Amino acid sequence: MRKILMLLLLISTIIAANAQTDTLSITLENVKYPYPVNFMPIKVEGQDLRMAYMDVKPAAPNGKTVMLFHGKNFGGYYWADVIRVLSSKGYRVIVPDQIGFGKSSKAIIHYSFHQLARFNKNLLDSLGVQQVTLMGHSMGGMLATRFTLMYPGRVEKLLLEDPIGLEDYRTFVPYASAEDDYKTELKTSYESVKKYYQTSYFTTWKPEYDYLVAIGAGVSKSADFPRYAKVAALTFEMIYEQPVCYEFGLIKVPTVLFTGKEDKTIVGKALLSDEEKAKHGQYKILGPETARKIPGCKLIEFDNCGHIPHIEVKEAFFKALTANL
């Protein structure tokens, strides 16, 4: 076992050392996902787009389906262990890359949670799936909330993992236009991505997290990166301008909120003073406040954990997740 751990550490170190020279396409063609990827065609604003998704069927089906919505800085690739656990319990697992993210088209369109929700409803329709347990992480939590509000009959249970949008960023984060955000995104580098992930997502950095940085930063060396940066700016604008926090009380399905007590995520944090940062993004406060807003919501908190419980405290998260499906 010790030799295996040392080998894994060596591999992670090599990946980290080479990550700065790797170039990824902006639709991650050269990133291997944990399960086969399919594509659903979509026509939007005169553009022919492709929405990538994994549809993982279990060996011993229990007749139920879980759909997973990723966060803004991720794609379906970081759900690998969650898919494995759910599949082992008999769940069919559907994992889309939202339009603008992962292996899906990087479309220059008006981004809205309403439209993304409709795309996902269309995906379920195309697969013949009527009801799902819906889990959303980070930005995916905002999207999962909007989907549930729009299509409550399609959601058996709502699971929110450290969702962003628990507060209205417009009330304390200075406004920046999509063009301003675009100029900021163009400055992306391996160093900037790793620093952000280290300071925003985890309480303690581990070498096995380096693959997240390698993917997040690898696209910055692509010749198509300006398009990727533009989409990132447009989706930042979507998050900023389309809050869901005022509608939590309208959710009518059973809901479980999972939060890392050390999560301090704020969308637009770089625009804030240290004083403002200290007043916002405190999930140990926002979690209980949000749970009280959602009728019958169950809150599960994780100690010594930041923004991504399903990676940072895997075993505790999986135990809580499987107990609350």
CA angle centred on 53, ends 153 and 216, rounded to 5°? 120
pLDDT at 28 exceeding the cut of 80: yes
Residue 89 has a pLDDT of 98
Bridge partners of 212, per DSSP, are: none
d(CA 313, CA 321): 12
Residue 160 has a pLDDT of 98
Residue 223 has a pLDDT of 96
- Residues 42-84 have pLDDT tens digits of 999 999 999 999 999 999 999 999 999 999 999 999 999 999 9
Residue 188 CA: distances (Å) to CA of 74, 228, 318: 15, 11, 33
The token pair that represents 274 in the structure block: 């240290």
* DSSP one-letter code for 269: G
- Residues 156-167 have pLDDT tens digits of 999 999 999 999
- Coil, helix or strand for 178? helix
Residue 202 has a pLDDT of 97
Please give the radius of gyration of the chain, using alpha carbons only, rounded to the nearest integer: 19
DSSP class per residue in 77-135:
GGGHHHHHHHHHTT-EEEEEPPTTSTTS----S---HHHHHHHHHHHHHHHT---EEEE
DSSP class per residue in 187-213:
T--HHHHHHHHHHHT-SS--GGGHHHH
Residue 29 has a pLDDT of 96
DSSP class per residue in 234-256:
HHHHHHHH---GGGGGG--S-EE
* Residue whose token pair is 């759910």: 86
Mean pLDDT along residues 297-307: 98
Residue 321 has a pLDDT of 98
- Residues 263-275 have pLDDT tens digits of 999 999 999 999 9
pLDDT at 7 exceeding the cut of 50: no
CA angle centred on 137, ends 303 and 62, rounded to 5°? 100
Beta-carbon count within 10 A of 256 CB: 22
64's enclosing H/E stretch is: none
Mean pLDDT along residues 240-249: 98
What is the dihedral sign for C-alpha 149, 169, 242, 139?
A: negative
pLDDT at 88 exceeding the cut of 70: yes
Strands 155-161 and 132-137: parallel
Residue 11 has a pLDDT of 38
- Residues 114-144 have pLDDT tens digits of 999 999 999 999 999 999 999 999 999 999 9
| Residues in contact with 233: Cβ distance below 8 Å, sequence separation at least 6, in sequence order | 178, 179, 181, 182, 184, 185
Residue 287 has a pLDDT of 98
Residue 72 has a pLDDT of 98
- Coil, helix or strand for 172? coil
What is the dihedral sign for C-alpha 307, 207, 74, 317?
A: negative
CA angle centred on 89, ends 83 and 91, rounded to 5°? 60
Mean pLDDT along residues 106-116: 98
Q: How far is CA 320 from the centre of its chain?
A: 19
Bridge partners of 48, per DSSP, are: 43
Q: What is the mean pLDDT of the chain?
A: 93
